[in-house]
Structure 1
Amino acid sequence: MERHQVFDRALLLKRRLRALRQHGSSADFLLGRAADDLEERLSAVERRFDVAVDLAGHSGLGAQALLRSGKVESIFRVEHDSSFLDRSFPGVVADEEALPLKAGSIDLIISLLSLHLTNDTPGTLLQIRRALKPDGLFLGAMAGENTLGELRECLLAAESEIYGGASPRVAPFADVRDVGALLQRAGFTLPVTDIETYTVRYDTAFHLMRDLRAMGMQNVLLGRSRKPMSRRFFARVAEIYAERFSDPDRRIRATFSFIWMSGWAAHESQQKPLKPGSAKAKLADFLTSVENLKKK
């Protein structure tokens, strides 16, 4: 059965390549923050990894964080185009939705801010889990549902006001509970998800949209409107943004939400959930204690 397609992946790659040519690493601050968070999270993992893969990081910042951690022996990168690779780390060109990794071959796979733009995220997570050795770790971050919520609201308001209707202009980002369910569905053990939210301030909405272009993060939804937007439309977006989401100094706020996820490939040494009825404390005892407390 053919899976429903949400994103124009060819257009996404084209825009990322154009952003790389025109802007280089000037707008990599979100990836930089994610890489720093990755290094901190990895420091809490009490083990070393022989082979690690930085999956679709586009900048190499994830691989550099792995190197700084001192916990990885060999680091490889997988990128959608050779333009994203350099001589710092060996790499291979492949789409993250079709991983060229042998089953049970990798100790650690990381993914920073790319999985939210895959059409088959469950299938990609399944491929990641299969590529891990037993007791291998996946650690990644993807954009969460609150990301660019302010911009989404202003785009919808301006388009409804000017054109009498609205089309999707900001990608639908995932909820943290859905991501946890996807990890379980892909067969990861000990899955964990949490959210980190960052607020970035800009002089105007035009400065925010300029950064998004420099990241190659314009609208790549297959259901997007092909109708060109006028200067009047974008001017109105900026006005609404300033009215609704500006601080006393008149700078605007933009929210970026990272859903962090981790999961392990199954191994007999891992902690197992207790069997039903094996707990030493009885639920009835707890309830009785609660009732006693209420009476005091």
Structure 2
Amino acid sequence: MTPPDIFDRNLRRLRRDRAAPDYPAHDFLRAAMLDGIAERLASVTRTFSDTLDLGCFDGSFRPPPGGRTVRSDPGAAFARMAGGIQHDEDQPAFPNASFDLIISAGTLDTVSDLPGALALARRALRPDGLFMAAFTGGASLSTLRAVLREAEGERPAARVHPQVDVRSAGDLLMRAGFALPVADVETLTVRYRDIWSLFRDLRGMAATNLLPGTPTLRRDTLARAAQAFAALADSDGRTNERFDIVFLTGWAPDESQPKPARRGSATSSLAEALKRRD
């Protein structure tokens, strides 16, 4: 039996199409993700001939030179803008061993089947191929979450997506079969003059609520949330909002990769080492 989707797939496509025309005015979060990926990629001393930009938005990711790049996005408008294909990351679309580099920035936090999406990416890589991803997770939108909970009182609805923390993200990489998995997190703090500015950014980056069946926010609830948000402002009249960017790096297994030491292969014991320190 197929489990129900965590996120509304059709709404996800519609929200991305809505965001596409004005996306460059709200792309600061994905720009930070791409900068982080580029920094990590710069330390990799090898060439890549076939790259997949998975969840490409407007195609702003610049792949390593000299190879072929395929772009895909869940939204038709973004896929069209980038000259790519429309495709949900957790649905099969590419043959096994099609790419030696897969990049995903800014979409995996709204994939209904994240373990499935990672497993598909792993299969689409050739041996010793590299996967790099970035998405919002951890304690992202903690201020918005708190003021909405306060505004709705005793029975608040789930209005901010569940977040994947960095430890869980690393575990998911291992479960998907990646070798040499690494997961780390960077925090970006953005200062907003009011809650409406935050809402505009979330709409503009296609990051609004995609949970099925969420009731519409009433005007009085919105007003209370706006007041609570403003009450947290600093002396400059700005309120901080937090975005945790989770970065993932993993390799498709290959015989050429370093292997962990075999259990029991150490030539000296921990007890002996501690005695030498006394």
Alignment of 1:204-219 (within 5 A): 204-219=194-209
Count residues in correspondence.
278
1:6 matched to 2:6? The reply is yes
Q: CA 1:113–1:239 in structure 2 vs 1: closer, same or farther (change >3 Å)?
A: same
Residue 134 of structure 1: SS of its match in structure 2? strand
Residue from 88, 92, 112 that aligns with 2:85:
92
TM-score with structure 1 setting the length: 0.89
Q: CA deviation at 1:86?
A: 5.0
1:255 matched to 2:248? The reply is no
In structure 1, the partner of 2:73 is 79
Q: CA 1:82–1:219 in structure 2 vs 1: closer, same or farther (change >3 Å)?
A: closer
Q: CA deviation at 1:279?
A: 1.9
Structure 2: distance between partners of 1:105 and 1:212: 33
Gapped regions of structure 1 (runs ≥ 5):
none
Letter in 1 for 2:171: A
TM-score with structure 2 setting the length: 0.94
Q: CA deviation at 1:223?
A: 4.6
Alignment of 1:100-115 (within 5 A): 100-115=93-108
In structure 2, the partner of 1:131 is 124
Q: CA 1:153–1:83 in structure 2 vs 1: closer, same or farther (change >3 Å)?
A: same
Residue 49 of structure 2: SS of its match in structure 1? strand
Letter in 1 for 2:122: R
- Cα RMSD of the aligned pairs, angstroms, is 1.6
Residue from 256, 264, 268 that aligns with 2:251:
264
Structure 2: distance between partners of 1:38 and 1:104: 22
Structure 1: distance between partners of 2:217 and 2:69: 44
Q: CA 1:74–1:247 in structure 2 vs 1: closer, same or farther (change >3 Å)?
A: same
Residue 145 of structure 2: SS of its match in structure 1? helix
Which runs of structure 1 show a deviation greater than 2 angstroms over 4 or more consecutive aligned residues? 89-93, 228-232, 286-290
Alignment of 1:211-290 (within 5 A): 211-224=201-214, 226=215, 228-244=216-232, 246-289=233-276
Residue from 107, 114, 123 that aligns with 1:121:
114
Determine which structure has more spread, i.e. the larger CA radius of gyration.
1
Structure 2: distance between partners of 1:158 and 1:81: 32
Gapped regions of structure 2 (runs ≥ 5):
none
Q: CA deviation at 1:119?
A: 1.0
In structure 2, the partner of 1:190 is 180
Letter in 2 for 1:85: A
Q: CA deviation at 1:175?
A: 1.1
Residue 95 of structure 2: SS of its match in structure 1? coil
Q: Percent identity among equivalent residues? A: 40
Q: CA deviation at 1:90?
A: 4.8
Letter in 1 for 2:15: R
